[in-house]
Amino acid sequence: MMDRVWLWRFFAALSLFLHSPICYSDKAPNYSFMRDATGSPTTSYYDYIIIGGGTAGCPLAATLSQNFSVLLLERGGAPYNNPNITRLSAFGAALSDLSEASPSQRFISEDGVINARARVLGGGSALNAGFYTRAGTKYVRNMGWDGGLANESYRWVEAKVAFQPPMGRWQTAVRDGLLEVGIVPNNGFTYDHINGTKFGGTIFDHNGDRHTAADLLEYADPKSITVLLHATVHRILFRTRGTTKPIANGVVYRDRTGQAHRAYLKEGSSNEIIVSAGTLGSPQLLMLSGVGPSAQLQAQNITVVMDQPHVGQGMYDNPMNAVFIPSPVPVKVSLIEVVGITGEGTYVEAAGGENFGGGGSSGSGSSARDYYAMFSPKATLLESNSMKLSSAQPFQGGFILEKVMGPLSTGHLELRTRNPNDNPVVTFNYFQHPDDLKRCVRGIQTIERVVQSKAFAWFKYADMSFEYLLNLTASTPVNLRPPRSGPGASLPPSAEEFCQHTVTTIWHYHGGCVVGRVVDGDYKVIGIDRLRVIDMSTVGYCPGTNPQATVMMLGRYMGVKIMRERLTNK
């Protein structure tokens, strides 16, 4: 039976692979309207000011620019000309970059789970594993969206960024294993969210190049849109005198040199500021601007514009747990392609690695730090220089993971400082609700059946029990939660223990400005005029197996809806 050090050897080699120079194609669009914020006017005026050029902000800005002048403010840089973002083979490298210039910004929740937020045009679509799948029809109905417009908006997105994955042997074996153990029917390749097993889409094309929400700016009217990079919004400005309620009328942002700029809405009661800064950034910015729980704002010496106790409440993150499976045969690199939608509150997915072994690696670099690099943020701050790994035998394998749907457990967000560049304090309370833990256990049990299926036998050592795989995975730190202790710590963990001790994120966190609490059904901030929030912070339940398709759809959907309303009211 294989020794645990093989697992560390895989991570070490994976780290070297991800950080090696690679060739890539430069397909950056020529956006004449995109530039660095340095040197932008001290004061400017627009019909719409959108804060955050992420998965929602880019399609929203592109759509509104067809009829109105739009300013899109993005705190990060462009995703183009950076192979760590653009290439599938380099997935994970951007997430392990902890520099100030990194397109991702690491944060650690109070639960001890390491996470990341995007700091780049395109948002999370520039960092994630690329899985593309729509929300279910029931979800669309429950959100109050028009089904026809939602489908039109999905197709608008898919024309630019969605592709059919190659469906290699590892992913096919997982698919066949899921079908063998009863996750049926076989739904083939589809973007739709349907119970059973399917291959979903991907935002990586057949050359392995990533297509992000930033590509949706190709739809924009270049004469009507301005995209400023490295433009960090510090606060939203409000007019409060002589009004029954606050009216948003501008923003203060700073460029990379620290120079302050102001952008204001043009005259017109229909012009708006739209916050699309993400699940952490949107509630954080509202609070920094004086909209939030008054006690918390006063503690930070922030003038209260409106006491809104629900801002920062209702924070959710879908727990993800993965089982590492060493393979006796090489496994080609693949990210998330197949998914089993079990109908039992969990989704089962897979990611494969390739033979990274050999090459005389001695762990120089960061093997443990890059754990889960194939599909999850780097889950430990440990260094592996002290690990003397033998290169006598190469290592190969992959992961099968489960994601808890929902979830039902809820947390909160609080300001840490008044600096928008600092991460807020976030608590998700993983598995606080007992049903989340039960769902995770069912997911692990499904993974066990898949691993033991005939369809998957080619990729599994015959003498390797599932208990051994759980212990192998649990032995490597993937978070900063307290390790297992006591007399039974050396024994294979139970499914419940495995869920609790190996929980990580799959980056699908959401909430903080939830519909019905902070914003209404049209995403207008309740109690404030000319201000909306449109992004994942408004969602109280994660849409399907991966939210990015639905967030991009929502940006387009709301852009069209806003334009139609304005034209109707003329």
- What length is written for the chain? 570
* Residue 478 among known ligand-binding residues: no
Residue type, position 563, single letter:
M
Residue type, position 279, single letter:
T
CA distance 270 to 47: 8
- Phi/psi for 521 (5° steps) reads -65, -15
CA distance 508 to 401: 14
Mapped onto helix, strand or coil, the DSSP state of residue 520 is coil
CA distance 457 to 478: 27
- Asked if residues 72 and 555 have their Cβ atoms less than 8 Å apart, the reply is no
- Asked if residues 1 and 461 have their Cβ atoms less than 8 Å apart, the reply is yes
CA distance 289 to 418: 10
CA distance 206 to 202: 10
* Residue 283 among known ligand-binding residues: no
CA distance 326 to 464: 9
Active-site position among 19, 193, 501, 508 = 508
- Asked if residues 519 and 513 have their Cβ atoms less than 8 Å apart, the reply is yes
Per the structure block, which two tokens stand in for 276? 């699309």
CA distance 250 to 239: 9
* Residue 8 among known ligand-binding residues: no
* Residue 508 among known ligand-binding residues: yes
193 given a catalytic annotation: no
What are the catalytic residues?
508
Q: Which residues are annotated as a binding site for FAD?
A: 120, 233, 507-508, 547-548
Q: Which residues are annotated as a binding site?
A: 120, 233, 507-508, 547-548
